A and B are shown apart, each in its own frame.
Chain A
Amino acid sequence: MPQVLTDASGNAQRDRQSPSKPVDNIIQLQSVSKTYRNGSQALIDVNLEVKRGDFLFVTGPSGSGKSTFLKLLYGEECASQGEVKVDNDFPAKLRGDRLSLLRRRIGIVFQDYKLIPRRTVTENVSFVLWAQGYTRKEINRRLPAALKMVGLQHKAECFPEELSGGEQQRVSIARAIVGTPPLLLADEPTGNLDPDNSWQVIKILKKLNQIGITVIVTTHDESLIRLSNHPVVQIRNGRLSSVNY
Protein backbone atom coordinates (compact mmCIF):
# COMPACT_ATOMS: atom_id res chain seq x y z
CA MET A 1 0.00 0.00 0.00
CA PRO A 2 1.29 3.48 -0.77
CA GLN A 3 1.99 5.72 2.12
CA VAL A 4 1.24 9.38 1.73
CA LEU A 5 3.08 10.90 4.62
CA THR A 6 2.07 14.52 4.42
CA ASP A 7 1.51 17.07 1.80
CA ALA A 8 2.09 20.75 2.11
CA SER A 9 -1.30 21.30 3.63
CA GLY A 10 -0.42 18.80 6.34
CA ASN A 11 -2.74 16.05 5.19
CA ALA A 12 -1.33 12.96 6.81
CA GLN A 13 -3.66 10.40 5.41
CA ARG A 14 -2.29 6.97 4.83
CA ASP A 15 0.01 5.00 7.03
CA ARG A 16 -0.56 1.29 6.90
CA GLN A 17 3.08 0.36 7.36
CA SER A 18 3.70 -1.95 10.26
CA PRO A 19 6.33 -0.24 12.48
CA SER A 20 8.03 -3.53 13.35
CA LYS A 21 8.56 -4.65 9.73
CA PRO A 22 11.58 -3.34 7.76
CA VAL A 23 10.41 -0.85 5.15
CA ASP A 24 10.96 -1.95 1.54
CA ASN A 25 9.92 1.10 -0.39
CA ILE A 26 10.56 1.07 -4.12
CA ILE A 27 9.71 4.77 -4.30
CA GLN A 28 10.28 7.43 -1.72
CA LEU A 29 9.71 11.17 -2.14
CA GLN A 30 10.65 13.52 0.69
CA SER A 31 9.59 17.17 0.65
CA VAL A 32 9.85 17.24 -3.13
CA SER A 33 9.12 20.45 -5.00
CA LYS A 34 9.62 21.13 -8.67
CA THR A 35 9.69 24.58 -10.17
CA TYR A 36 10.37 24.92 -13.89
CA ARG A 37 12.67 27.60 -15.29
CA ASN A 38 9.71 29.64 -16.45
CA GLY A 39 8.63 29.85 -12.83
CA SER A 40 5.67 27.45 -12.96
CA GLN A 41 5.41 25.26 -9.89
CA ALA A 42 4.62 21.68 -10.90
CA LEU A 43 4.98 20.01 -7.50
CA ILE A 44 4.98 21.49 -4.01
CA ASP A 45 6.37 19.69 -0.96
CA VAL A 46 5.34 16.20 -1.97
CA ASN A 47 5.94 13.25 0.35
CA LEU A 48 5.16 9.72 -0.79
CA GLU A 49 6.25 6.18 -0.14
CA VAL A 50 5.33 3.27 -2.40
CA LYS A 51 6.11 -0.29 -1.34
CA ARG A 52 7.26 -3.01 -3.68
CA GLY A 53 4.31 -4.77 -5.30
CA ASP A 54 1.90 -1.83 -4.84
CA PHE A 55 -0.52 -0.59 -7.47
CA LEU A 56 -1.12 3.14 -7.25
CA PHE A 57 -3.28 5.48 -9.27
CA VAL A 58 -2.19 9.10 -9.51
CA THR A 59 -5.04 11.31 -10.59
CA GLY A 60 -5.57 14.98 -11.13
CA PRO A 61 -6.59 17.44 -13.81
CA SER A 62 -4.43 18.17 -16.82
CA GLY A 63 -1.40 20.28 -15.95
CA SER A 64 -1.61 19.38 -12.26
CA GLY A 65 1.89 17.85 -12.18
CA LYS A 66 1.21 14.13 -12.80
CA SER A 67 3.67 13.82 -15.67
CA THR A 68 6.27 15.83 -13.77
CA PHE A 69 5.86 13.41 -10.88
CA LEU A 70 6.65 10.46 -13.19
CA LYS A 71 9.52 12.30 -14.88
CA LEU A 72 11.15 12.77 -11.48
CA LEU A 73 10.95 9.01 -10.99
CA TYR A 74 12.69 8.06 -14.23
CA GLY A 75 15.21 10.89 -14.09
CA GLU A 76 13.92 12.99 -16.97
CA GLU A 77 13.56 15.93 -14.57
CA CYS A 78 15.27 16.78 -11.30
CA ALA A 79 13.51 18.02 -8.17
CA SER A 80 14.17 21.65 -7.28
CA GLN A 81 13.94 20.68 -3.63
CA GLY A 82 13.72 17.46 -1.65
CA GLU A 83 14.79 13.94 -2.43
CA VAL A 84 13.49 11.30 -4.82
CA LYS A 85 14.55 7.69 -4.27
CA VAL A 86 13.70 4.92 -6.72
CA ASP A 87 14.71 1.29 -6.17
CA ASN A 88 17.46 2.41 -3.77
CA ASP A 89 18.88 4.96 -6.23
CA PHE A 90 18.57 8.72 -6.47
CA PRO A 91 17.70 9.50 -10.12
CA ALA A 92 18.58 13.18 -9.74
CA LYS A 93 22.14 12.29 -8.80
CA LEU A 94 22.64 9.85 -11.66
CA ARG A 95 24.13 10.80 -15.00
CA GLY A 96 25.00 8.96 -18.19
CA ASP A 97 25.34 5.20 -17.93
CA ARG A 98 24.28 5.02 -14.28
CA LEU A 99 20.97 6.69 -15.12
CA SER A 100 20.59 4.26 -18.04
CA LEU A 101 21.07 1.34 -15.66
CA LEU A 102 18.34 2.68 -13.36
CA ARG A 103 15.99 3.10 -16.32
CA ARG A 104 16.46 -0.56 -17.20
CA ARG A 105 14.69 -1.28 -13.88
CA ILE A 106 11.74 0.95 -14.83
CA GLY A 107 9.21 0.20 -17.55
CA ILE A 108 7.48 3.26 -18.97
CA VAL A 109 4.18 3.44 -20.86
CA PHE A 110 3.17 6.70 -22.55
CA GLN A 111 -0.16 8.14 -23.57
CA ASP A 112 1.11 8.56 -27.16
CA TYR A 113 2.68 5.04 -27.11
CA LYS A 114 6.01 6.29 -28.54
CA LEU A 115 6.27 3.33 -30.92
CA ILE A 116 8.77 3.49 -33.75
CA PRO A 117 6.72 3.77 -36.95
CA ARG A 118 8.96 1.87 -39.35
CA ARG A 119 9.48 -1.13 -37.08
CA THR A 120 7.16 -4.08 -36.59
CA VAL A 121 5.62 -5.02 -33.24
CA THR A 122 8.37 -7.60 -32.75
CA GLU A 123 11.07 -5.07 -33.57
CA ASN A 124 9.51 -2.41 -31.36
CA VAL A 125 9.47 -4.73 -28.38
CA SER A 126 12.79 -6.52 -28.97
CA PHE A 127 14.42 -3.16 -29.62
CA VAL A 128 14.46 -2.56 -25.83
CA LEU A 129 16.31 -5.79 -25.25
CA TRP A 130 18.80 -5.08 -28.04
CA ALA A 131 19.32 -1.62 -26.60
CA GLN A 132 20.05 -3.19 -23.21
CA GLY A 133 22.59 -5.61 -24.69
CA TYR A 134 20.60 -8.88 -24.46
CA THR A 135 21.63 -11.82 -26.64
CA ARG A 136 19.53 -12.90 -29.62
CA LYS A 137 18.71 -16.16 -27.83
CA GLU A 138 17.44 -14.36 -24.75
CA ILE A 139 15.43 -11.95 -26.89
CA ASN A 140 13.78 -14.86 -28.71
CA ARG A 141 12.92 -16.38 -25.34
CA ARG A 142 11.41 -13.25 -23.82
CA LEU A 143 9.57 -11.83 -26.80
CA PRO A 144 6.70 -14.36 -27.18
CA ALA A 145 5.97 -14.24 -23.44
CA ALA A 146 5.71 -10.43 -23.48
CA LEU A 147 3.45 -10.44 -26.55
CA LYS A 148 1.30 -13.18 -25.04
CA MET A 149 0.90 -11.16 -21.87
CA VAL A 150 -0.71 -8.33 -23.86
CA GLY A 151 -2.53 -10.68 -26.28
CA LEU A 152 -0.71 -9.62 -29.44
CA GLN A 153 1.10 -12.77 -30.58
CA HIS A 154 -0.87 -12.73 -33.83
CA LYS A 155 0.14 -9.15 -34.60
CA ALA A 156 3.87 -9.70 -34.13
CA GLU A 157 4.77 -8.77 -37.72
CA CYS A 158 2.40 -5.80 -38.04
CA PHE A 159 3.57 -2.21 -38.21
CA PRO A 160 2.14 0.28 -35.67
CA GLU A 161 0.04 2.00 -38.33
CA GLU A 162 -1.76 -1.30 -38.95
CA LEU A 163 -2.87 -1.49 -35.30
CA SER A 164 -5.73 0.16 -33.41
CA GLY A 165 -4.97 2.63 -30.61
CA GLY A 166 -5.65 -0.03 -27.97
CA GLU A 167 -3.34 -2.50 -29.69
CA GLN A 168 -0.59 0.11 -30.01
CA GLN A 169 -0.87 0.81 -26.30
CA ARG A 170 -0.61 -2.91 -25.58
CA VAL A 171 2.58 -3.03 -27.70
CA SER A 172 3.87 -0.16 -25.63
CA ILE A 173 3.11 -2.15 -22.45
CA ALA A 174 4.85 -5.23 -23.89
CA ARG A 175 7.86 -3.07 -24.62
CA ALA A 176 7.83 -1.72 -21.07
CA ILE A 177 7.71 -5.13 -19.41
CA VAL A 178 9.82 -7.28 -21.73
CA GLY A 179 12.94 -6.43 -19.72
CA THR A 180 11.07 -7.56 -16.54
CA PRO A 181 11.51 -4.33 -14.58
CA PRO A 182 10.35 -4.29 -10.95
CA LEU A 183 8.59 -0.95 -11.51
CA LEU A 184 6.14 0.09 -14.23
CA LEU A 185 5.18 3.73 -14.75
CA ALA A 186 2.21 4.44 -17.01
CA ASP A 187 1.58 8.05 -17.98
CA GLU A 188 -2.09 8.39 -18.97
CA PRO A 189 -2.02 4.99 -20.71
CA THR A 190 -5.76 5.17 -21.44
CA GLY A 191 -5.81 8.83 -22.43
CA ASN A 192 -6.37 8.11 -26.13
CA LEU A 193 -8.49 4.98 -25.78
CA ASP A 194 -12.20 4.15 -25.71
CA PRO A 195 -13.65 2.65 -22.49
CA ASP A 196 -13.32 -0.99 -23.64
CA ASN A 197 -9.70 -0.65 -24.66
CA SER A 198 -8.99 1.39 -21.52
CA TRP A 199 -10.35 -1.35 -19.31
CA GLN A 200 -8.35 -3.96 -21.23
CA VAL A 201 -5.16 -1.98 -20.61
CA ILE A 202 -5.97 -1.64 -16.91
CA LYS A 203 -6.60 -5.39 -16.70
CA ILE A 204 -3.17 -6.06 -18.19
CA LEU A 205 -1.58 -3.68 -15.70
CA LYS A 206 -3.40 -5.42 -12.85
CA LYS A 207 -2.16 -8.77 -14.13
CA LEU A 208 1.40 -7.44 -14.14
CA ASN A 209 0.93 -6.18 -10.62
CA GLN A 210 -0.23 -9.63 -9.55
CA ILE A 211 3.08 -11.12 -10.69
CA GLY A 212 4.92 -8.68 -8.45
CA ILE A 213 5.56 -5.61 -10.56
CA THR A 214 4.95 -2.30 -8.81
CA VAL A 215 2.62 -0.27 -11.01
CA ILE A 216 2.02 3.48 -10.92
CA VAL A 217 -0.62 4.80 -13.30
CA THR A 218 -1.50 8.43 -13.86
CA THR A 219 -4.98 9.02 -15.19
CA HIS A 220 -7.83 11.47 -15.00
CA ASP A 221 -10.42 8.79 -15.82
CA GLU A 222 -12.28 8.44 -12.53
CA SER A 223 -14.55 5.65 -13.74
CA LEU A 224 -11.53 3.43 -14.33
CA ILE A 225 -10.21 4.19 -10.87
CA ARG A 226 -13.53 3.24 -9.31
CA LEU A 227 -13.64 -0.01 -11.27
CA SER A 228 -10.15 -1.14 -10.45
CA ASN A 229 -10.27 -0.76 -6.67
CA HIS A 230 -6.69 0.35 -6.03
CA PRO A 231 -5.27 3.12 -3.85
CA VAL A 232 -5.39 6.57 -5.36
CA VAL A 233 -3.44 9.76 -4.72
CA GLN A 234 -4.41 13.04 -6.25
CA ILE A 235 -2.21 15.86 -7.45
CA ARG A 236 -3.96 19.19 -7.60
CA ASN A 237 -2.08 22.43 -8.18
CA GLY A 238 1.17 20.59 -7.47
CA ARG A 239 0.07 19.26 -4.08
CA LEU A 240 -0.41 15.57 -3.35
CA SER A 241 -3.12 14.03 -1.25
CA SER A 242 -4.73 10.59 -0.97
CA VAL A 243 -8.26 10.03 -2.14
CA ASN A 244 -10.88 7.48 -1.24
CA TYR A 245 -13.25 6.30 -3.97
Chain B
Amino acid sequence: MFRFLTKLDYLLRETLLGLRRGGWMNWAAISTVTVLLFLFGTGLQASWQLEGLLNQVGSQLEVSAYLETGVDGAMLKPVIERFPEAEVVKSISKEEAWASLVKDLGISDLKDASRQLEGNPLVDELKVRAKSSASVPILAKKLKNLQGVEDVQYVDEAVKRIAQLDRGLNWLSLMITGLLTVTTIAVISTTIRLIVMARRREIEVMQLVGATSSWIYFPFILQGIVFGVVGATIAWGLIQAVGQFLQNLLAQQPEFVQFLAAEGSLRPINSIALPLILLGFGGSVGLLGSLLAVRRFATR
Protein backbone atom coordinates (compact mmCIF):
# COMPACT_ATOMS: atom_id res chain seq x y z
CA MET B 1 0.00 0.00 0.00
CA PHE B 2 2.79 2.39 1.03
CA ARG B 3 4.76 1.50 -2.07
CA PHE B 4 1.68 2.10 -4.18
CA LEU B 5 1.25 5.57 -2.64
CA THR B 6 4.91 6.33 -3.34
CA LYS B 7 4.35 5.34 -6.94
CA LEU B 8 1.19 7.41 -7.13
CA ASP B 9 3.00 10.40 -5.65
CA TYR B 10 5.71 10.14 -8.31
CA LEU B 11 3.36 9.42 -11.21
CA LEU B 12 1.01 12.29 -10.41
CA ARG B 13 3.90 14.71 -9.96
CA GLU B 14 5.50 13.69 -13.24
CA THR B 15 2.15 13.83 -15.05
CA LEU B 16 1.44 17.33 -13.72
CA LEU B 17 4.96 18.42 -14.63
CA GLY B 18 4.44 17.09 -18.14
CA LEU B 19 1.13 18.93 -18.43
CA ARG B 20 2.71 22.16 -17.20
CA ARG B 21 5.51 21.82 -19.72
CA GLY B 22 3.12 20.86 -22.53
CA GLY B 23 1.75 24.42 -22.77
CA TRP B 24 -0.28 25.08 -25.89
CA MET B 25 0.28 21.53 -27.12
CA ASN B 26 -2.02 20.33 -24.33
CA TRP B 27 -4.76 22.56 -25.66
CA ALA B 28 -4.31 21.30 -29.20
CA ALA B 29 -4.98 17.78 -27.95
CA ILE B 30 -7.75 18.72 -25.54
CA SER B 31 -9.64 20.85 -28.07
CA THR B 32 -9.57 18.03 -30.62
CA VAL B 33 -10.96 15.62 -28.03
CA THR B 34 -13.59 18.22 -27.12
CA VAL B 35 -14.75 18.64 -30.74
CA LEU B 36 -14.88 14.86 -31.21
CA LEU B 37 -16.80 14.23 -28.02
CA PHE B 38 -19.12 17.19 -28.48
CA LEU B 39 -20.22 15.91 -31.89
CA PHE B 40 -20.34 12.33 -30.68
CA GLY B 41 -22.30 13.29 -27.55
CA THR B 42 -24.72 15.48 -29.50
CA GLY B 43 -25.30 12.70 -32.03
CA LEU B 44 -25.83 10.15 -29.27
CA GLN B 45 -28.19 12.42 -27.39
CA ALA B 46 -30.18 13.20 -30.53
CA SER B 47 -30.42 9.50 -31.30
CA TRP B 48 -31.66 8.74 -27.77
CA GLN B 49 -34.19 11.53 -28.03
CA LEU B 50 -35.50 10.27 -31.36
CA GLU B 51 -35.75 6.75 -29.98
CA GLY B 52 -37.61 8.16 -26.98
CA LEU B 53 -39.98 9.93 -29.33
CA LEU B 54 -40.48 6.72 -31.30
CA ASN B 55 -41.25 4.78 -28.14
CA GLN B 56 -43.65 7.41 -26.89
CA VAL B 57 -45.47 7.83 -30.15
CA GLY B 58 -45.26 4.17 -30.52
CA SER B 59 -47.47 3.23 -29.58
CA GLN B 60 -45.90 2.98 -33.09
CA LEU B 61 -46.29 -0.75 -32.67
CA GLU B 62 -49.91 -0.38 -31.68
CA VAL B 63 -52.80 -0.80 -34.08
CA SER B 64 -56.25 0.37 -33.03
CA ALA B 65 -59.19 -1.65 -34.42
CA TYR B 66 -62.64 0.00 -34.07
CA LEU B 67 -65.39 -2.56 -34.13
CA GLU B 68 -68.75 -2.33 -35.78
CA THR B 69 -71.63 -1.27 -33.60
CA GLY B 70 -72.85 -4.13 -31.49
CA VAL B 71 -69.71 -6.27 -31.89
CA ASP B 72 -68.19 -7.26 -28.55
CA GLY B 73 -64.44 -6.71 -28.30
CA ALA B 74 -64.01 -9.55 -25.81
CA MET B 75 -65.25 -12.01 -28.42
CA LEU B 76 -62.76 -10.98 -31.08
CA LYS B 77 -59.81 -10.76 -28.68
CA PRO B 78 -58.94 -14.53 -28.66
CA VAL B 79 -59.07 -14.60 -32.50
CA ILE B 80 -56.61 -11.72 -32.80
CA GLU B 81 -54.34 -13.15 -30.11
CA ARG B 82 -53.73 -16.10 -32.42
CA PHE B 83 -52.26 -13.82 -35.12
CA PRO B 84 -48.50 -14.42 -35.33
CA GLU B 85 -47.86 -10.65 -35.64
CA ALA B 86 -49.83 -9.77 -32.51
CA GLU B 87 -48.09 -9.58 -29.16
CA VAL B 88 -50.65 -8.11 -26.78
CA VAL B 89 -54.31 -7.45 -27.35
CA LYS B 90 -56.18 -5.08 -25.10
CA SER B 91 -59.90 -4.69 -25.30
CA ILE B 92 -61.43 -1.32 -24.48
CA SER B 93 -65.19 -1.43 -24.17
CA LYS B 94 -67.22 1.48 -25.49
CA GLU B 95 -68.24 2.30 -21.91
CA GLU B 96 -64.63 2.69 -20.83
CA ALA B 97 -63.83 4.74 -23.92
CA TRP B 98 -66.87 6.95 -23.35
CA ALA B 99 -66.01 7.54 -19.71
CA SER B 100 -62.46 8.45 -20.68
CA LEU B 101 -63.61 10.81 -23.43
CA VAL B 102 -66.14 12.53 -21.24
CA LYS B 103 -63.43 13.00 -18.62
CA ASP B 104 -61.02 14.37 -21.23
CA LEU B 105 -63.69 16.81 -22.39
CA GLY B 106 -64.12 18.02 -18.87
CA ILE B 107 -67.78 17.09 -18.58
CA SER B 108 -68.63 16.13 -15.03
CA ASP B 109 -71.94 14.42 -15.50
CA LEU B 110 -71.55 11.21 -17.54
CA LYS B 111 -75.24 10.27 -17.53
CA ASP B 112 -76.30 13.73 -18.64
CA ALA B 113 -73.86 13.66 -21.53
CA SER B 114 -75.10 10.21 -22.62
CA ARG B 115 -78.68 11.33 -22.45
CA GLN B 116 -78.01 14.38 -24.57
CA LEU B 117 -76.42 12.24 -27.30
CA GLU B 118 -79.10 9.60 -26.96
CA GLY B 119 -76.74 6.98 -25.63
CA ASN B 120 -73.05 6.13 -25.93
CA PRO B 121 -72.03 7.02 -29.53
CA LEU B 122 -68.73 5.06 -29.37
CA VAL B 123 -67.89 1.48 -30.34
CA ASP B 124 -65.68 -1.17 -28.75
CA GLU B 125 -62.01 -0.85 -29.53
CA LEU B 126 -59.16 -3.35 -29.59
CA LYS B 127 -55.59 -2.10 -29.11
CA VAL B 128 -53.21 -4.64 -30.65
CA ARG B 129 -49.47 -4.35 -30.12
CA ALA B 130 -47.41 -5.78 -32.99
CA LYS B 131 -44.30 -7.84 -32.38
CA SER B 132 -42.16 -5.58 -34.60
CA SER B 133 -42.61 -2.36 -36.52
CA ALA B 134 -42.24 -4.31 -39.78
CA SER B 135 -45.28 -6.41 -39.00
CA VAL B 136 -47.52 -3.41 -38.20
CA PRO B 137 -48.90 -2.96 -41.78
CA ILE B 138 -49.54 -6.74 -42.14
CA LEU B 139 -51.33 -6.82 -38.82
CA ALA B 140 -53.38 -3.76 -39.76
CA LYS B 141 -54.41 -5.40 -43.05
CA LYS B 142 -55.44 -8.62 -41.29
CA LEU B 143 -57.46 -6.71 -38.73
CA LYS B 144 -59.14 -4.69 -41.44
CA ASN B 145 -60.24 -7.88 -43.17
CA LEU B 146 -61.60 -9.35 -39.96
CA GLN B 147 -65.35 -9.53 -39.76
CA GLY B 148 -66.78 -7.13 -37.23
CA VAL B 149 -63.96 -4.59 -37.60
CA GLU B 150 -65.12 -1.24 -38.89
CA ASP B 151 -61.88 0.65 -39.13
CA VAL B 152 -58.17 0.28 -38.36
CA GLN B 153 -55.78 3.06 -37.42
CA TYR B 154 -52.06 3.14 -36.74
CA VAL B 155 -49.33 5.75 -36.77
CA ASP B 156 -47.46 4.82 -39.87
CA GLU B 157 -45.88 7.55 -41.93
CA ALA B 158 -44.63 9.72 -39.09
CA VAL B 159 -43.07 6.76 -37.33
CA LYS B 160 -41.41 5.63 -40.52
CA ARG B 161 -39.94 9.09 -41.06
CA ILE B 162 -38.66 9.35 -37.50
CA ALA B 163 -37.15 5.87 -37.73
CA GLN B 164 -35.48 6.82 -41.02
CA LEU B 165 -34.16 10.02 -39.48
CA ASP B 166 -32.85 8.05 -36.52
CA ARG B 167 -31.08 5.56 -38.78
CA GLY B 168 -29.65 8.35 -40.92
CA LEU B 169 -28.45 10.23 -37.87
CA ASN B 170 -26.86 7.09 -36.46
CA TRP B 171 -24.93 6.48 -39.66
CA LEU B 172 -23.86 10.10 -39.93
CA SER B 173 -22.70 10.28 -36.34
CA LEU B 174 -20.93 6.93 -36.72
CA MET B 175 -19.01 8.21 -39.74
CA ILE B 176 -18.13 11.56 -38.17
CA THR B 177 -17.17 9.87 -34.91
CA GLY B 178 -15.00 7.33 -36.73
CA LEU B 179 -13.21 10.00 -38.72
CA LEU B 180 -12.72 12.29 -35.75
CA THR B 181 -11.58 9.43 -33.52
CA VAL B 182 -8.73 8.68 -35.90
CA THR B 183 -7.86 12.40 -36.07
CA THR B 184 -7.97 12.76 -32.30
CA ILE B 185 -5.78 9.72 -31.72
CA ALA B 186 -3.29 11.11 -34.25
CA VAL B 187 -3.27 14.56 -32.58
CA ILE B 188 -2.86 13.11 -29.06
CA SER B 189 -0.18 10.75 -30.27
CA THR B 190 1.73 13.58 -31.96
CA THR B 191 1.37 15.83 -28.92
CA ILE B 192 2.67 13.17 -26.55
CA ARG B 193 5.49 12.36 -28.96
CA LEU B 194 6.52 16.03 -29.05
CA ILE B 195 6.46 16.14 -25.25
CA VAL B 196 8.54 12.96 -25.08
CA MET B 197 11.00 14.46 -27.57
CA ALA B 198 11.21 17.67 -25.55
CA ARG B 199 12.07 15.60 -22.48
CA ARG B 200 14.36 13.12 -24.17
CA ARG B 201 17.33 14.32 -22.11
CA GLU B 202 15.54 13.46 -18.89
CA ILE B 203 14.42 10.17 -20.34
CA GLU B 204 17.98 9.33 -21.36
CA VAL B 205 19.19 10.05 -17.82
CA MET B 206 16.33 8.01 -16.37
CA GLN B 207 17.28 5.07 -18.55
CA LEU B 208 20.91 5.35 -17.45
CA VAL B 209 20.04 5.43 -13.77
CA GLY B 210 17.93 2.31 -14.04
CA ALA B 211 14.34 3.51 -14.33
CA THR B 212 12.18 0.86 -16.00
CA SER B 213 10.35 1.68 -19.23
CA SER B 214 6.94 1.51 -17.59
CA TRP B 215 8.15 3.89 -14.86
CA ILE B 216 9.45 6.35 -17.47
CA TYR B 217 6.51 6.22 -19.86
CA PHE B 218 3.54 5.75 -17.55
CA PRO B 219 3.28 9.50 -16.79
CA PHE B 220 2.99 10.15 -20.54
CA ILE B 221 0.18 7.62 -20.80
CA LEU B 222 -1.56 9.28 -17.85
CA GLN B 223 -1.12 12.58 -19.64
CA GLY B 224 -2.95 11.19 -22.68
CA ILE B 225 -5.78 9.98 -20.45
CA VAL B 226 -5.96 13.45 -18.83
CA PHE B 227 -6.34 14.99 -22.31
CA GLY B 228 -9.25 12.64 -22.98
CA VAL B 229 -10.96 13.18 -19.63
CA VAL B 230 -10.59 16.99 -19.70
CA GLY B 231 -11.84 17.04 -23.32
CA ALA B 232 -14.82 14.89 -22.29
CA THR B 233 -15.67 17.18 -19.38
CA ILE B 234 -15.58 20.28 -21.56
CA ALA B 235 -17.63 18.53 -24.26
CA TRP B 236 -20.25 17.50 -21.70
CA GLY B 237 -20.41 21.06 -20.40
CA LEU B 238 -20.90 22.34 -23.94
CA ILE B 239 -23.64 19.79 -24.63
CA GLN B 240 -25.39 20.86 -21.41
CA ALA B 241 -25.09 24.53 -22.36
CA VAL B 242 -26.44 23.92 -25.87
CA GLY B 243 -29.27 21.82 -24.38
CA GLN B 244 -30.17 24.62 -22.00
CA PHE B 245 -30.12 27.13 -24.84
CA LEU B 246 -32.42 24.96 -26.96
CA GLN B 247 -34.80 24.49 -24.06
CA ASN B 248 -35.08 28.25 -23.63
CA LEU B 249 -35.67 28.54 -27.35
CA LEU B 250 -38.38 25.83 -27.26
CA ALA B 251 -40.27 27.60 -24.50
CA GLN B 252 -41.20 30.25 -27.04
CA GLN B 253 -42.31 27.72 -29.70
CA PRO B 254 -45.88 26.51 -30.52
CA GLU B 255 -47.31 23.87 -28.21
CA PHE B 256 -46.98 21.01 -30.68
CA VAL B 257 -43.21 21.53 -30.95
CA GLN B 258 -43.03 21.69 -27.18
CA PHE B 259 -44.99 18.45 -26.98
CA LEU B 260 -42.57 16.71 -29.36
CA ALA B 261 -39.59 18.01 -27.40
CA ALA B 262 -41.10 16.83 -24.13
CA GLU B 263 -41.81 13.37 -25.60
CA GLY B 264 -38.25 13.12 -26.82
CA SER B 265 -36.54 14.37 -23.66
CA LEU B 266 -33.78 12.22 -22.17
CA ARG B 267 -34.60 9.55 -19.66
CA PRO B 268 -32.80 9.96 -16.28
CA ILE B 269 -30.64 6.88 -16.97
CA ASN B 270 -29.42 8.45 -20.21
CA SER B 271 -28.62 11.74 -18.47
CA ILE B 272 -26.24 9.81 -16.22
CA ALA B 273 -24.98 7.56 -18.99
CA LEU B 274 -23.99 10.42 -21.32
CA PRO B 275 -21.19 11.93 -19.19
CA LEU B 276 -19.97 8.44 -18.28
CA ILE B 277 -19.86 7.38 -21.93
CA LEU B 278 -18.07 10.63 -22.85
CA LEU B 279 -15.51 10.14 -20.07
CA GLY B 280 -14.97 6.52 -21.04
CA PHE B 281 -14.63 7.33 -24.72
CA GLY B 282 -12.37 10.33 -24.04
CA GLY B 283 -10.18 8.33 -21.68
CA SER B 284 -9.89 5.47 -24.18
CA VAL B 285 -8.97 7.78 -27.05
CA GLY B 286 -6.35 9.47 -24.83
CA LEU B 287 -4.98 6.12 -23.71
CA LEU B 288 -4.75 4.81 -27.26
CA GLY B 289 -3.09 7.99 -28.56
CA SER B 290 -0.47 8.05 -25.82
CA LEU B 291 0.18 4.31 -26.07
CA LEU B 292 0.86 4.72 -29.77
CA ALA B 293 3.21 7.62 -29.01
CA VAL B 294 5.33 5.91 -26.36
CA ARG B 295 5.30 2.46 -27.96
CA ARG B 296 8.05 3.49 -30.39
CA PHE B 297 10.28 4.88 -27.67
CA ALA B 298 9.62 2.19 -25.10
CA THR B 299 10.36 -0.70 -27.43
CA ARG B 300 13.65 0.70 -28.66
Contact = CB atoms under 8 A, between A and B. Distances in A.
Interface of A: 74, 76, 96-97, 100-106, 108, 114, 116-118, 127-128, 130-136, 175, 179
B204 A133 contact: no
B295 to A, nearest CB: 14
B9 interface: yes
B15 to A, nearest CB: 13
Interface string B189-209: 000000000000110111111
B210 interface: yes
Contacts of A102: 210
A114 B204 contact: yes
25 contacts: A74-B208, A97-B214, A100-B207, A100-B211, A100-B212, A101-B210, A102-B210, A103-B209, A104-B209, A104-B210, A106-B210, A108-B208, A108-B209, A114-B204, A116-B205, A118-B21, A128-B209, A130-B10, A131-B206, A132-B211, A133-B6, A133-B10, A133-B215, A134-B6, A136-B6
Nearest to B199: A116
B212 A97 contact: yes
Nearest to A134: B6
A36 B3 CA distance: 42
A222 to B, nearest CB: 28
Interface in B6-25: 6-7, 9-10, 21
Contacts of A128: 209
A103 B205 contact: no
A71 to B, nearest CB: 10
Contacts of B214: 97
A127 B205 contact: yes
Nearest to B204: A114
Interface residues of B, number: 22
**Interface residues of chain B: helix, strand, loop or mixed (majority):** helix
Contacts of B7: 133
A74 B209 CA distance: 10
Give 6 nearest A-B pairs by CB, closest first.
A104-B210, A131-B211, A103-B210, A128-B209, A100-B210, A100-B212
A134 B205 CA distance: 17
A102 B207 CA distance: 11
A97 B213 contact: yes
Contacts, number: 62
B201 to A, nearest CB: 6
Interface of B: 2-3, 6-7, 9-10, 21, 201-202, 204-216
Given A97-B213, A103-B209, A133 B9 contact: no
A132 B210 contact: yes
A116 B215 contact: no
B210 A116 contact: no
- Residue of B210, B214, B215 with most chain A CB atoms under a 10 A cut-off: B210
Contacts of B206: 127, 131
Given A114-B201, A114-B205, A116-B201, A131 B210 contact: yes
A10 B232 CA distance: 70
Nearest to B201: A116
Nearest to B202: A116
Contacts of B202: 116, 127
Contacts of A131: 206, 209-211, 215-216
A178 B2 CA distance: 22
Contacts of B201: 114, 116-117
A114 B203 CA distance: 11
Contacts of A175: 209
A41 B250 CA distance: 80
Nearest to A131: B211
